[in-house]
RNA sequence: UGGGGAGUAGCCAAGUGGCAAGGCACCGGUCUUUGGAACCGGCUAUCGAAGGUUCGAAUCCUUCCUCCCCAGCCA
């Protein structure tokens, strides 16, 4: 479709779709290539290495690679970059496919593996040998490093650089046949040992490596390096725009060198963008793997992990993640996106869609002294004020209730307008109540509140027009569902986890409060058999997702994100100010 | 001291010679049966710096500064 003269971008500015379409330098290039007729449709690829779980950073790449062909017409391939069998596993390819699908993308029939091309890649290596552009090198890894030179000094040629084509052909065949031990020989491109770009100093194409590959088994004992495999895989698949992250910018000359010197069927173009970073978050595979393997978290899908599996379990939606990826933009400047931005994308999505429910995290018993013993009323509660179509539900109300401990203060400060002795508040969708007494135990701790209820305020409004400043959530004690609630917070205490004390590492910044488990939460009865994955808003608290650890009659909920909390902000400010005052004295 | 990139508000980020978009965060206010949401306003950016070209420069030229990446038989 994108072949007509005006091109897909030449529409009027009033088109709402046009206005909401993401715009960035990569899409500009794609649009230009389509406009000039360089390409008639776009083919991209998302090329994960199956050596770990996908994380939110990958979501940015997925959003770009799948989003572009969707917008401009074309297709995106899912290709596993599986050239290093010592690190790669089937578990990871399964999780990666699940996560990409979960995000809502579809690669159709275009599922590929770099290992599909091992045969072709090998034949092309032979071609390079025949044309005098590759040689078998007997230097070991340490020697290769020595010969490579440094950033500021040129390297020197390998003593094996000038072997004859025949000898190279024979040696390479024997490498392939398994005649040499791991690491003893490599096939290298013959480019320029004095090149200012180290990637061009006779890079290794093949290494001898005996490891069972998750797909090819023990068929090979030589494996191609990334640089040699990636571009040619792109060429084989007819990729038009090979989008990768900035650290590969230095590799582009090599990428192009291979394409130039090999009889490939197509010439792809590599484009680089800045990878995603988020405050209070670690997004390197090395770190995530360490957190999992050393037990700092409970697995790849621990809800504190930035993996797609983790944030999915936590309660993030694919829609929120996709919106996030679109809104952060794509550029070449290194940047760190505020975690608050991700959280806000989730709230925006869930605010419109998540059913409202009542759940008391830290229960405080309330006895309504003037409410009839044994009476139960079914109150009508709105499921979602943002969505009338969501309807209402019945919630039982009775003489003994639970409210949130945080919603009562015996000696309230000026700005606190929830429940306090002598004060009236509204119970959401029920009645106004007034606190008349406070019971305490021998240690002076509050055990329960005594209140009176105004029976003329049923449903939550008074005929005389008075309106309490606060509305509280509540649960009928006799009908409450006991639940476990897991309060998750940022995994790291520092915006930059790399900012650690001398002699330590990023793990010094792990947040000991990243998980707080509340075993005694009380939920409204409608949640008794919440299915894992159900996401609701606990009114006034945040969005919570039923966890797979839920058991019949005892749900477990994960807090995905809190609601914005103005009161918490006021408290924090007051605390900071009083602290400052004391300090200056 | 080699090569490759990047610098626009606290954080992302548009802008490609004609008075510097938008979002997040933050601060006010309106409204409110969620201290939520929504709505209104503020956040008043010497466009890394200095020169130059031009009637006019974030955009073009020169020099400088700062930050990031590269010396795996990882990707």
- Measure, in angstroms, how far nucleotide B19 C1' is from residue A278 CA: 36
Enumerate the β-bridge partners of residue A397.
A377
Go through A149-186 and write b for each residue having 16 or more CB atoms within 10 A of its CB, e for each that does not: beeeeebeebebeebeeeebeebbeebbeeebeeeebb
- What pTM value is reported for the model? 0.95
Whether residue A524 lies inside any domain: the answer is no
Query: Residue A420 is part of a domain; what is its CATH number?
Result: 2.40.240.10
Same domain, A220 and A325: no
Quote the pLDDT of residue A17. 39
Residue at a domain's end among A171, A206, A225 = A225
d(C-alpha A270, C-alpha A239), whole Å: 10
Query: Residue A156 is part of a domain; what is its CATH number?
Result: 3.90.800.10
d(C-alpha A527, C-alpha A357), whole Å: 8
Whether residue A364 lies inside any domain: the answer is yes
pLDDT digits (tens, 9 = 90+) for A198-214: 999 999 999 999 999 99
- Looking at this predicted complex, what is its ipTM? 0.97
Residue A231: partners with Cβ closer than 8 Å, 6 or more residues away: A242, A255, A256, A258, A259, A268, A270
Q: Among the listed ranges A9-23, A31-45, A343-357, A562-576, which one has the minimum average pLDDT value? A: A9-23
Quote the pLDDT of residue A110. 98
Whether residue A481 lies inside any domain: the answer is no
Quote the pLDDT of residue A19. 47
Same domain, A215 and A288: no
d(C-alpha A222, C-alpha A127), whole Å: 17
Quote the pLDDT of residue A582. 44
Quote the pLDDT of residue A574. 82
Same domain, A301 and A174: no
Same domain, A150 and A51: no
Spatial contact of A201 and A148, defined as CB atoms under 8 Å apart? yes
Nearest nucleic acid nucleotide to A430, CA to C1' distance: B33
A275 noted as active-site residue: yes
Residue A281, classified by CB atoms within 10 Å of its CB into exposed (0-12), middle (13-18) or buried (19+), is buried
Same domain, A272 and A420: no
Whether residue A496 lies inside any domain: the answer is no
Query: Residue A60 is part of a domain; what is its CATH number?
Result: 3.40.50.620
Q: Please report, rounded to a whole number, the percentage of residues in chain A having pLDDT higher than 90.
A: 92
Enumerate the β-bridge partners of residue A402.
A365, A475
Quote the pLDDT of residue A575. 80
With a cut of 90, say whether residue A96 has pLDDT above it. yes
Nearest nucleic acid nucleotide to A145, CA to C1' distance: B71
- Measure, in angstroms, how far nucleotide B22 C1' is from residue A329 CA: 11
Enumerate the β-bridge partners of residue A365.
A402, A448
Torsional sign, CA A114, A116, A121, A126 = positive
With a cut of 60, say whether residue A449 has pLDDT above it. yes
- Measure, in angstroms, how far nucleotide B55 C1' is from residue A114 CA: 59
Q: Which of A70, A87, A210, A275 is catalytic?
A: A275
pLDDT digits (tens, 9 = 90+) for A135-189: 999 999 999 999 999 999 999 999 999 999 999 999 999 999 999 999 999 999 9
- The torsion angle over the Cα atoms of residues A475, A476, A479 and A482, rounded to 10 degrees, is 40
Residue A5: partners with Cβ closer than 8 Å, 6 or more residues away: none
Residue at a domain's end among A473, A500, A515 = A473
Domain range for residue A462? 359-473
- Whose tokens are 């088109």? That residue is A15
d(C-alpha A304, C-alpha A310), whole Å: 6
Q: What is the mean pLDDT of residues A287-298?
A: 97
pLDDT band (50, 70, 90) for residue A580: low
A285 noted as active-site residue: yes
Whether residue A556 lies inside any domain: the answer is no
Q: Which of A156, A161, A210, A285 is catalytic?
A: A285
With a cut of 60, say whether residue A16 has pLDDT above it. no
Spatial contact of A368 and A457, defined as CB atoms under 8 Å apart? no
pLDDT band (50, 70, 90) for residue A8: very low
- Measure, in angstroms, how far nucleotide B25 C1' is from residue A340 CA: 8
pLDDT digits (tens, 9 = 90+) for A389-442: 999 999 999 999 999 999 999 999 999 999 999 999 999 999 999 999 999 999
Same domain, A268 and A325: yes
What stretch of H or E contains A515? strand A515-523
Nearest nucleic acid nucleotide to A182, CA to C1' distance: B73
A70 noted as active-site residue: no
Same domain, A153 and A299: no
Enumerate the β-bridge partners of residue A393.
A381
Q: Is A482 left (phi over 0), alpha (psi -120 to 50) or beta?
A: beta
Quote the pLDDT of residue A20. 58
Detail the DSSP E strand segments found in A14-82.
42-46, 74-80
Residue A503: partners with Cβ closer than 8 Å, 6 or more residues away: none
Same domain, A318 and A214: no
Nearest nucleic acid nucleotide to A81, CA to C1' distance: B75
Assign 3-state DSSP to chain A and report helix, strand, coil percentages, each to 5. Answer: 35, 25, 45
Between these two residues, A17 and A403, which has the higher pLDDT value? A403
Q: Is A243 helix (H, G, I), strand (E, B) or coil?
A: strand
pLDDT digits (tens, 9 = 90+) for A84-94: 999 999 999 99
- Measure, in angstroms, how far nucleotide B60 C1' is from residue A28 CA: 22
pLDDT digits (tens, 9 = 90+) for A228-278: 999 999 999 999 999 999 999 999 999 999 999 999 999 999 999 999 999
Nearest residue (Cα to C1') for B6?
A333
Same domain, A44 and A172: no
Nearest residue (Cα to C1') for B75?
A226
The domain total for chain A is 3
d(C-alpha A266, C-alpha A252), whole Å: 16
- Measure, in angstroms, how far nucleotide B53 C1' is from residue A268 CA: 39
Chain B footprint positions (protein CB, under 7 Å): 1-8, 10-16, 22-27, 33-38, 67-75
Q: What is the mean pLDDT of residues A367-386?
A: 98
Whether residue A16 lies inside any domain: the answer is no
Nearest nucleic acid nucleotide to A330, CA to C1' distance: B13
Whether residue A584 lies inside any domain: the answer is no
pLDDT band (50, 70, 90) for residue A458: very high
Same domain, A240 and A364: no
Go through A131-145 and write b for each residue having 16 or more CB atoms within 10 A of its CB, e for each that does not: eebbbbbebeeeebe
With a cut of 60, say whether residue A9 has pLDDT above it. no
- Measure, in angstroms, how far nucleotide B42 C1' is from residue A573 CA: 20
pLDDT digits (tens, 9 = 90+) for A402-413: 999 999 999 999
Residue A506: partners with Cβ closer than 8 Å, 6 or more residues away: A282, A287, A492, A497, A498, A500
Residue at a domain's end among A162, A191, A225 = A225
Nearest nucleic acid nucleotide to A87, CA to C1' distance: B74
Q: What is the mean pLDDT of residues A20-41?
A: 92
Spatial contact of A486 and A313, defined as CB atoms under 8 Å apart? no
Whether residue A351 lies inside any domain: the answer is no
Spatial contact of A394 and A378, defined as CB atoms under 8 Å apart? yes
Residue A192: partners with Cβ closer than 8 Å, 6 or more residues away: A200, A201, A202
Q: Which of A27, A45, A49, A484 is catalytic?
A: A49
Nearest residue (Cα to C1') for B72?
A141
Quote the pLDDT of residue A579. 63
Same domain, A381 and A429: yes
Average pLDDT, chain A: 94
d(C-alpha A430, C-alpha A457), whole Å: 8
Same domain, A382 and A285: no
With a cut of 90, say whether residue A513 has pLDDT above it. yes
């Amino acid at each position: 479709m994108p072949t007509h003269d005006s091109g897909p971008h030449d529409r009027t500015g009033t088109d709402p779709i046009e206005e909401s379409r993401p715009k960035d330098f990569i899409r500009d290039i794609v649009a230009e290539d389509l406009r000039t007729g360089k390409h008639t449709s776009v083919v991209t690829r998302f090329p994960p290495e199956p050596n770990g779980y996908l994380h939110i950073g990958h979501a940015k790449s997925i959003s770009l690679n799948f989003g572009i062909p969707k917008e401009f017409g074309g297709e995106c391939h899912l290709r596993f970059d599986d050239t290093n069998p010592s690190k790669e596993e089937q578990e990871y390819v399964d999780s990666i496919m699940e996560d990409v699908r979960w995000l809502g993308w579809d690669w159709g029939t275009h599922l590929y593996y770099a290992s599909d091309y091992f045969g072709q890649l090998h034949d092309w290596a032979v071609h390079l040998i025949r044309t005098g552009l590759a040689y078998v090198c007997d230097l070991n890894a340490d020697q290769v490093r020595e010969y490579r030179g440094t950033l500021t000094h040129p390297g020197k040629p390998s003593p094996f650089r000038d072997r004859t084509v025949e000898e190279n052909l024979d040696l390479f065949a024997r490498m392939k046949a398994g005649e040499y031990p791991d690491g003893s020989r490599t096939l290298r491109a013959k480019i320029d040992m004095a090149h200012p770009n180290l990637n061009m100093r006779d890079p290794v194409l093949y290494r001898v490596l005996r490891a069972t590959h998750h797909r090819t088994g023990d068929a090979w004992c030589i494996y191609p390096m990334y640089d040699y495999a990636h571009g040619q895989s792109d060429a084989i698949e007819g990729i038009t725009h090979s989008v990768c992250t900035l650290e590969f910018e230095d590799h582009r000359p090599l990428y192009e060198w291979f394409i130039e010197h090999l009889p490939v069927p197509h010439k792809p173009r590599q484009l680089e963008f800045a990878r995603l970073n988020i405050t209070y978050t670690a997004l390197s595979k090395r770190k995530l793997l360490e957190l999992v393997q050393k037990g700092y978290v409970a697995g790849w899908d621990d809800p504190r992990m930035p993996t797609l599996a983790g944030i999915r379990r936590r309660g993030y939606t694919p829609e929120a993640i996709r919106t996030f990826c679109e809104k952060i933009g794509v550029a070449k400047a290194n940047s760190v996106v505020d975690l608050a931005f991700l959280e806000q994308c989730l709230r925006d999505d869930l605010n419109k869609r998540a059913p409202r429910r009542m759940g008391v995290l830290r229960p405080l018993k309330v006895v309504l002294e003037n409410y009839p013993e044994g009476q139960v009323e079914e109150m009508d509660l709105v499921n979602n004020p943002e969505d009338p179509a969501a309807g209402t539900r019945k919630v039982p109300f009775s003489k003994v209730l639970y409210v949130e401990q945080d919603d009562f203060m015996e000696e309230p400060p000026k700005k606190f307008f929830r429940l306090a002795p002598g004060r009236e508040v509204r119970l959401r969708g029920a009645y106004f109540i007034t606190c008349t007494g406070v019971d305490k135990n021998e240690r002076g701790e509050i055990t329960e509140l005594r209140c009176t209820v105004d029976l003329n305020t049923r449903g939550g409004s008074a005929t005389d027009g008075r309106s309490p400043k606060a509305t509280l959530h509540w649960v009928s004690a006799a009908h409450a569902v006991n639940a476990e609630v897991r309060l998750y917070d940022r995994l790291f205490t520092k915006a930059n986890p790399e900012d650690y004390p001398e002699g330590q590492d990023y793990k010094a910044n792990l947040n000991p409060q990243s998980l707080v488990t509340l075993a005694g939460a009380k939920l409204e009865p409608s949640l008794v058999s919440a299915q894992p994955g159900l996401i609701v808003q606990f009114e006034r608290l945040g969005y919570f997702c039923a966890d797979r650890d839920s058991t019949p009659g005892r749900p477990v909920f994960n807090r995905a994100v809190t609601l914005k909390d103005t009161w918490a902000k006021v408290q924090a400010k007051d605390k900071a100010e009083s602290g400052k005052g004391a300090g200056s004295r």
